[in-house]
Structure 1
Amino acid sequence: MPTIIIFGASRGLGLAFTKLAMIQGHRVLAMVRSSQAADELRALGADVVSGDALDRAAVNRVCALAGKDSWVVSTLGSFRSPNPVDYEGNRQVIDGMEECGLKRLLLVTSLGCGDSWQHLPERARAAFGHEVRLKSLAESWLQTSTLTWTILRPAGLQDGNPTGQARLSQRQETHGLVRRCDVAIQGLSLLADSTAAGQIYAISDPGLLPG
């Protein structure tokens, strides 16, 4: 079973991917900046390397340690951070993978990226538009790379147990909510699916309504 490198593993969606990948029997390699987060991930059973996704040398160390047959998941993102990783961090991951010979990447961005910008409500553009635009740049950079990629755009993220009702869609207007653990379930399935290479998916859960 392939080793999975997870960028953004210490919290939120990345942590959901980390936990599920280990349940499925994958070796998980995570790169984190925080020593506290590193300790928490090690306690879960992940292998941890200290480093910053904005540092190409650090990214390359993780890629080399994992090996060329490894899969990669990036959930990197920032919200109103002075050093956002939405584009630059993902670009370092993409370029580092190419340099080290890794191929398979699942990039998790958000609804509103790329050609789905037109469907993003004005309120969401005002609140998250900057980050969405940066993630869109990361998507574009990935699509012109040599990697075997899949892009996954989740709806609004919720904590909680999986509902099993999350749905993937392509080239259609999508809104709503989705549980982080359901995104991880579908995302890891896409990683293992050769027909998902070069594809962009949205994911939402029609059964979840805004509270």
Structure 2
Amino acid sequence: MPTTLIFGASRGLGRAFTDQALRQGHRVVALVRNADMAAELQTLGVEVVQGDALDAAAVAQACLLAGSEARVVSTLGSFRQAQPVDYQGNRLVIDEMERAGLKRLLLVTSLGCGDSWQYLPERAREAFGHEVRLKSLAESWLQTSSLEWTIVRPAGLQDGEATGKALLSQGQEVHGLVRRQDVALQGLQLLTSEQALGQIYAIGEPGLQRS
């Protein structure tokens, strides 16, 4: 039974990764700040460490519980929060993984990060540019770490069941939408792929309409 450690597991994209990992029979470990959310995930069989991603001790505890063979997913992000975790939270995850001997990380950021900034429309830069820049810093911290990494940059995220039509791409301009469940399905596959090591992918679904 593979172990998957998820940071950002309680809602949104992180919850989609949690759901898919449980469906696939993984042992799932998660760091969760909210007590009610922690209790809900525990009823599903998730091993929960309650704490904040900006607390190095809590992140270290989650890494220790998961064990050095665990594969890790981070979907950490925040929008206009007083203490955004987009960079500092992900940096702590990377640093504590290295200290604990964990090796494999899938970092989920967003379109517009790094060299895809040129494709981000001006309105999106105005709305989300600060968070995108912080996520870009997290990508750089990961790329210069000792970890075995893959980065995924989703298009606009949408709820709903997976369609199976989402496409991974590299070095192309990507816009539009993608289902969170599709990102989770493909992301978990990338975690076990040798070809995905050291690679950056965009993911979107051409033609997907807002529901």
Q: How does 1:59-78 map to 2 (within 5 A)?
A: 59-78=59-78
What is the root-mean-square deviation in Å for CA atoms of aligned residues?
0.8
Letter in 2 for 1:40: E
Indicate the SS of the match to 2:61.
Answer: helix
Structure 2, unpaired ranges of 5+:
none
Indicate the SS of the match to 2:153.
Answer: strand
Letter in 2 for 1:48: V
- Show CA shifts across 1:53-97 (max 9, x none): 111111111111111100000000000000000000000000000
Indicate the SS of the match to 1:139.
Answer: helix
Partner residue, 1:38? 38
Note the C-alpha offset of 1:20.
0.4
Q: TM-score, normalised by structure 2?
A: 0.98
Partner residue, 2:136? 136
- 1:81 and 2:81 correspond: yes
Indicate the SS of the match to 2:53.
Answer: coil
Indicate the SS of the match to 1:151.
Answer: strand
CA separation in 2, counterparts of 1:168 and 1:142? 20
CA separation in 2, counterparts of 1:52 and 1:13? 18
User: Is the 1:108–1:153 contact (alpha carbons within 8 Å) kept by the matching residues of 2?
Assistant: yes
CA separation in 1, counterparts of 2:137 and 2:29? 26
| Paired-residue identity, % | 72
Q: How does 1:85-100 map to 2 (within 5 A)?
A: 85-100=85-100
Q: How does 1:145-160 map to 2 (within 5 A)?
A: 145-160=145-160
CA separation in 2, counterparts of 1:88 and 1:116? 21
Q: How does 1:50-61 map to 2 (within 5 A)?
A: 50-61=50-61
Indicate the SS of the match to 1:105.
Answer: strand
- Show CA shifts across 1:151-206 (max 9, x none): 00000000011111000000111111000000000000000111100000000000
CA separation in 2, counterparts of 1:95 and 1:2? 22
Tell me which moved more, 143-152 or 54-63: 54-63
Partner residue, 1:18? 18
CA separation in 2, counterparts of 1:9 and 1:154? 17
Structure 1, unpaired ranges of 5+:
none
Partner residue, 2:194? 194
Letter in 1 for 2:173: E
Q: How does 1:173-188 map to 2 (within 5 A)?
A: 173-188=173-188
Note the C-alpha offset of 1:210.
4.4
Matched residues, number: 211
Q: TM-score, normalised by structure 1?
A: 0.98
CA separation in 2, counterparts of 1:20 and 1:8? 14
User: Is the 1:165–1:207 contact (alpha carbons within 8 Å) kept by the matching residues of 2?
Assistant: no
